[in-house]
Amino acid sequence: MNINLASIDTLSKSDEYTLIDSLKYPLITEKANELYKKNWYSFLVNKQMDKTSIKTAFEYLFKVKVVKVHTVNLPRRQRRVSRYIGYRPLYKKAIIKLAPTDSLDFFRMERTTLGI
C-alpha cells in the first residue's frame, strides 16, 4: 500500500482512487472532539496502510502539512444478534497532527474551550 513520495505530483487515476479509498472516514467521538481542538484529527484507515502512506494520502487529498501520525490497530469484536454470533471488522485508527498553520473544518465547528 506504499505510494512513491517522489511521484506524488503525477499520480495515475488508479493510485488516486487508492488514496481516496484508503482513508475510510473521520472518527467522531468525544475523545476525538477534544483532540480536534488541539489540531489532531482521527480517521479510520485501511488496515494495510503504514504511517508514511497515511501521511502521503492525507497531504495529497486535503492539501495540508502533516506533522505527526499515530496509529492504533483496533481489535476484532464479537457481536451477537439473537442466536447468531458474528464479528465486527478489523480497523486501523490514525490520529493525525497538522501543522499549526493548517486546519480542517468538517462540520463548520469553531475551536472553543466550551465546544459549542
Q: Please give the average pLDDT of every successive group of 10 residues along the chain, which has 116 residues.
A: 58 77 87 89 92 90 93 90 87 93 73 51
Which among 40, 43, 36 is positioned nearest to 111, based on CA atoms? 36
Helix (H, G, I), strand (E, B) or coil at 33: helix
Q: What is the pLDDT of residue 12?
A: 77
Q: What is the pLDDT of residue 116?
A: 46
Q: Residue 10: how many CA atoms within 13 Å on its side-chain side?
A: 2
| 87 domain-assigned | yes
| 8 domain-assigned | no
Instruction: Count how many domains the chain has.
Output: 1
| 48 domain-assigned | yes
The pTM score is 0.76
- Domain harbouring 84, CATH code: 3.30.70.330
Residue 51: domain span: 13-98
Q: What is the pLDDT of residue 105?
A: 77
| 2 domain-assigned | no
